[in-house]
Structure 1
Amino acid sequence: MKRRPRRTIPAILTGLVLLTTCVLIAIVGIQLIIGQTPLIRYRSVTDALHSTQWNDTATLGAGAAAVLLGLLMLLAALLPGKPTVLPLAGDMDAGVTRSSLRNALQSTAGSVDGVSRAKLKLGRRTIVAHIRTDRTNTVGLTDAVRAALDERLDQVTPLTRPAVKIRLHATRNRP
Structure 2
Amino acid sequence: MKRRPRRSAPATLSALVILAVCVLAAAVSVQLLLGERPWISYAAVTGWLHGQHWTDLVPAVAGGVAALLGLVLLLAAVLPGRARVLPLRGDLDSGASRRSYRSTLRVAASTVDGISGAKLKLGGRRVKAVVTTARTSTDGLADAVRTAVEQRIGQIDPATPPAVKVRLKTSGSTS
The two structures share one fold, judged by TM-score above 0.5: yes
Q: Partner residue of 2:92?
A: 92
Q: State percent identity of aligned pairs.
A: 52
Tell me the distance in 1 between the aligned counterparts of 2:85 and 2:13: 25
Tell me the distance in 2 between the aligned counterparts of 1:58 and 1:92: 57
Which stretches of structure 1, 4 residues or longer, exceed 4 Å deviation after superposition?
Answer: none
The answer to whether the 8 A contact 1:136-1:171 is kept is no
Tell me the distance in 2 between the aligned counterparts of 1:112 and 1:56: 67
SS state at 1:91 partner:
coil
The answer to whether the 8 A contact 1:84-1:97 is kept is yes
Alpha-carbon shift at residue 94 of structure 1 (Å): 0.7
Tell me the distance in 1 between the aligned counterparts of 2:8 and 2:72: 14
Tell me the distance in 2 between the aligned counterparts of 1:140 and 1:39: 74
Question: What is the TM-score of this pair, normalised by structure 1?
Answer: 0.91
Q: Partner residue of 1:25?
A: 25
Q: Partner residue of 1:154?
A: 154
Tell me the distance in 2 between the aligned counterparts of 1:127 and 1:9: 29
SS state at 2:121 partner:
strand
Tell me the distance in 1 between the aligned counterparts of 2:113 and 2:29: 71
SS state at 1:131 partner:
strand
Q: Partner residue of 2:117?
A: 117
Tell me the distance in 1 between the aligned counterparts of 2:3 and 2:35: 53
Question: What is the TM-score of this pair, normalised by structure 2?
Answer: 0.91
How many positions carry a matched residue from both structures?
173
SS state at 2:131 partner:
strand
Tell me the distance in 2 between the aligned counterparts of 1:164 and 1:65: 43
SS state at 1:113 partner:
coil
